[in-house]
Structure 1
Amino acid sequence: MNDPLAALPHGPEFRFVDALVSLDPGTSAVASYRVRGDEAFLAGHFPGNPLMPGVILIEAIAQLGGVVAQSDPAIPPLANLLLTGVRGAKILGAATPGEVLSIRAEVEGRLGGMIQVSGEVRSGERLLASAKVMLSGQEA
């Protein structure tokens, strides 16, 4: 795949991975996302003190995990890959407009159309969130 980010089915309004920093296809990746400040959810979370919601940080882990899983050269991409579970999520901080987030995701295991991913989101040295997410899709 020439552009691994093309595996993301999300529209630009709901994409929380801007660029890949590194990719070990099918295994792990590091990516970045800059909190622009014009994201629609920031207007209400919270007026006058915009903070990126913790659930969006978890979504960023899931999105990058999907990119990693779909880039595996030995396994065909799954159709309709979705986030279907979250375990052990910890939200330890918040991101504000202007911050550049570092997202890490690693595929821990696969069973048919199910993929377990662990990941974290950092702003500089600050750990903002970590989670194990389950992605599910349909085998071709």
Structure 2
Amino acid sequence: MQLDIKQIMSVLPHRYPFLLIDRVVELIPGKTVRALKNVSINEGFFTGHFPEQPVMPGVLIIEALAQAAAILSLVVKEGAETSQDGKSLYYLAGVDDARFRKPVLPGDQLILEVEALRLGRSISRFDGRALVDGQVVAEAKLMCAIRSVEA
């Protein structure tokens, strides 16, 4: 199963400049997701990180993995039109064993691979890794939580 940007935006509440998934290239609901982020020099964070040597911040790579994990959790079956109900949000609740192996630079295509370890009603756990040109650039264990939004 694949998702284009419109479908991704129907699942995630994030918008520019914080939507960090451009396309889902493979999704096996409840099991794995493979998504991509095209890293452009036009990203706002490159202005200050770093002006003479632009590098994508590691925390944003982790956030991109968390967004992929949210898609994996929220799209429960193929063909499901999942949209935000406005009553709950999916939060990144924990990051363990994060490792950053290589810098991510403008022009790179970041491939995000996330595997569900445990999908629960309120808390879920995942293994995530980010690759550029087939090489792991970052990896982490993620924990995400669904929480009600106060009106």
TM-score scaled by length of structure 1? 0.89
Specify the code of the residue in structure 2 equivalent to 1:109: R
Alignment partner, residue 125 of structure 1: 134
CA distance in 1, matches of 2:138, 2:111: 11
Report the secondary structure of 1:14's partner residue.
Answer: coil
Specify the code of the residue in structure 2 equivalent to 1:56: L
Q: Tell whether the 8 Å contact from 1:5 to 1:67 is kept in structure 2 after alignment.
A: no
Can you give the 5+ residue segments of structure 2 that lack an aligned partner in the other structure? none
Alignment partner, residue 38 of structure 1: 42
Deviation at 1:107, TM superposition (A): 1.1
Match of 1:90 among 82, 99, 122: 99
1:24-59: CA deviation from partner (whole Å, max 9, x where unpaired) = 012211011110111111111101111001111111
C-alpha spacing 1:4/1:43, structure 2 compared with 1 (3 Å): closer
CA distance in 2, matches of 1:32, 1:81: 20
Deviation at 1:125, TM superposition (A): 2.0
2:16 is the counterpart of 1:7: no
Alignment partner, residue 69 of structure 2: 65
Alignment partner, residue 100 of structure 1: 109
Count of equivalent residues: 136
Alignment partner, residue 112 of structure 1: 121
CA distance in 1, matches of 2:121, 2:72: 16
CA distance in 2, matches of 1:26, 1:5: 19
TM-score scaled by length of structure 2? 0.83
Specify the code of the residue in structure 2 equivalent to 1:55: V
Deviation at 1:23, TM superposition (A): 0.5
Specify the code of the residue in structure 2 equivalent to 1:79: S
CA distance in 2, matches of 1:15, 1:99: 17
CA distance in 2, matches of 1:104, 1:5: 19
CA distance in 1, matches of 2:8, 2:124: 17
Can you give the 5+ residue segments of structure 1 that lack an aligned partner in the other structure? none
Report the secondary structure of 1:12's partner residue.
Answer: coil
2:23 is the counterpart of 1:16: no
Deviation at 1:112, TM superposition (A): 2.6
Report the secondary structure of 1:81's partner residue.
Answer: strand
Deviation at 1:9, TM superposition (A): 1.2
Specify the code of the residue in structure 2 equivalent to 1:80: L
TM-align CA RMSD: 1.9
